[in-house]
Amino acid sequence: MWTKNSFQQMSFDDTVTNMPGYLKDFLKDSWAHIFQKIIFPAINEDRFSVLYSDKPSRPNSPVNVIIGALILKEIFGLSDVELLGSIYFDDRFQYALRLTSFDKPPVSINTFTNFRARVYAYEEETGIDLIKEEVENLSELIAETLEIGDEKIRVDSFMVASSSKNMSRIELVYTVNVNLIKKLKQLDKKAIPESCLGYLKKGHKKETIYKTRDKDVESKLEFLLKHSQMLYRASVKSSSGIEQTEEFKTLKRMLGEQTDNDDFDKLDPSGLKIKDGQDLSSDVLQNPSDPDATYRYKYGPNIGYTANVVEVFDGNHSIIKNYDFKPNIYSDQKFSQDTIEKLDIDKKSKNPLKMLVDGAYFTLELAELAIQKGIELIPGQLIGRKESESKLSFAKTFQINEDNLITKCINEQKPYFSKYDDEKEVFTAKFTKENCSSCNFKKECRIQFQKKTNTVRFNKDRYLRDSIREKMDTKEYIELTNQRAGIEGLPSVFRRKYNVDNMPVRGEVRSKFNFGFKVLAINTKRLLNSPVIVTG
């Protein structure tokens, strides 16, 4: 049954009340005091009431204690058992979680496991990520406490490896087959095809996979996929309910991805059409133990996910204000669009929010979308072919007015004809031969010299890119984009201190849960390490 813990008041026999003065002073000078003063009371328990029943039953463990404890778990790099030990035996942990008046901490070894399971199930059912909401709410509080303004943000993404094993196609198909066979053994052993009973024998995997010669790989793959089809057909005919299990759904998915066939129930095994490895998409199943992980080649092969972080910063502090976590085939441009659309801009501000990004986050379309939201998208560099240094850019050579007409060139000459094609977004202008004959920029100009007239034609995309490149060479722009460098160290922090590539969970929802608490741990640690004065 849902019950709210809210704020705890210290009793007369509280352990802190009865401490010697010098120990009280020591405690109030520690991280625990800042945590219990700022972070703990801001945890929104009501957000998590949807996880519990409103019918009379055993009350839940206090949610603010659970959330607070999971933050401390990431800060100090603890296991669940070590976390529980710290809560029971360390007065600083009890003080931070406002448990010093309790006879016994209201958490057990199962508390955290059960809470995670409820959060996972709720997101899978509703699509609502309660942890992300809480992390970003507390991060906003930390940013306000550190008095970080909203004038500038910087964005970066990085790969997060899945903890599952990288499998070959043969290993993948074999594992999917054997998982279903084991499930059939539990539900309907008689349904297992006779030719597949060998999977249950000791040493079958080693004999099947690791003693296969390279030249036999293709035939072995075909052999295993035919078993997959037999298992599919046997499952469909079974009345055991096997079709509702994850093992069957995984086998069905794998067959659909690894072959060009559609109807595995009626198809004769000899008609199985196996896809060439090069034709497999990056979102195919990589390992049945982590079905959400995808494949991407970036600085080498990667299987897993990608994280996107949005950091608000000033000259003294920085806080990860927003984050996202997706399969690793999610592009930086899509992250950029998501970030622009989600940002809550203060409409009273006269200046646009400056969003510092890598070139992979930038397109002209996204820049226009950002402007509509009151955001200036500022790339450190542009992706694509660089212009020839021997030629002047269109933006530097020609001036365009608010009606999208070319009004004059770098030599102060006016065209006798100027037009803009709205449909094709193309600028066109014509200059007389006399206009160009004595021009000092004649060799560097991109104009087309013709018999009767000289013509220049270029599209809007080209002009805007040239304009951005011109702006990139200014001192002010360089100083601004250099500030993005501060976020580029974050991936290393996540890997070295928070072990993000070895999270003890698999699947997007579970991995994102853990990643969210790592984000909050980083932000909380920045608060604890800052010269914040907490009174009372």
Q: How far is CA 510 from CA 197, 261, 294, in A?
A: 34, 32, 15
Per-residue pLDDT of 150-194, as tens digits, reads: 889 999 999 999 989 899 999 999 999 999 999 999 999 999 999
Does residue 78 share a domain with residue 189? no
Does residue 188 share a domain with residue 82? no
> Within a domain: residue 136?
no
Q: Does residue 304 carry a pLDDT above 70?
A: yes
More confident residue, 407 or 209: 407
Angle of helix 80-89 relative to helix 111-126, nearest 10 degrees?
130
Angle of helix 111-126 relative to helix 63-76, nearest 10 degrees?
100
Q: Does residue 6 carry a pLDDT above 80?
A: no
Of 472, 490, 511, which residue sits at a domain end? 472
> Within a domain: residue 330?
no
Q: How high does pLDDT run on average in the chain?
A: 90
- Shortest CA distance to 323 belongs to which of 514, 489, 485, 78? 514
Q: How confident is the model at residue 333, as a pLDDT?
A: 96
Q: How confident is the model at residue 353, as a pLDDT?
A: 93
Does residue 214 share a domain with residue 109? no
Of 95, 128, 161, which residue sits at a domain end? 128
| Residues 190 and 238: beta-carbon distance below 8 Å | no
> Within a domain: residue 298?
no
Structural domain including 458 reads 394-472
Does residue 251 share a domain with residue 191? yes
> Within a domain: residue 244?
yes
> Within a domain: residue 261?
yes
Does residue 274 share a domain with residue 185? yes
Does residue 103 share a domain with residue 198? no
- Shortest CA distance to 36 belongs to which of 71, 2, 3, 1? 71
> Within a domain: residue 213?
yes
Residue 502 binned pLDDT confidence (cut-offs 50, 70, 90):
very high
Does residue 115 share a domain with residue 178? no
Q: How confident is the model at residue 531, as a pLDDT?
A: 74
> Within a domain: residue 513?
no
> Within a domain: residue 507?
no
Residue 315 binned pLDDT confidence (cut-offs 50, 70, 90):
confident
- Shortest CA distance to 271 belongs to which of 279, 281, 257, 260? 260
140-149, 176-185, 343-352 — which is least confidently predicted?
A: 343-352
Of 279, 313, 328, which residue sits at a domain end? 279
Does residue 116 share a domain with residue 32? yes
| Structural domains of the chain, count | 3
Does residue 180 share a domain with residue 79? no
Confidence (pTM): 0.88
Q: How confident is the model at residue 149, as a pLDDT?
A: 86
Q: Does residue 384 carry a pLDDT above 90?
A: no
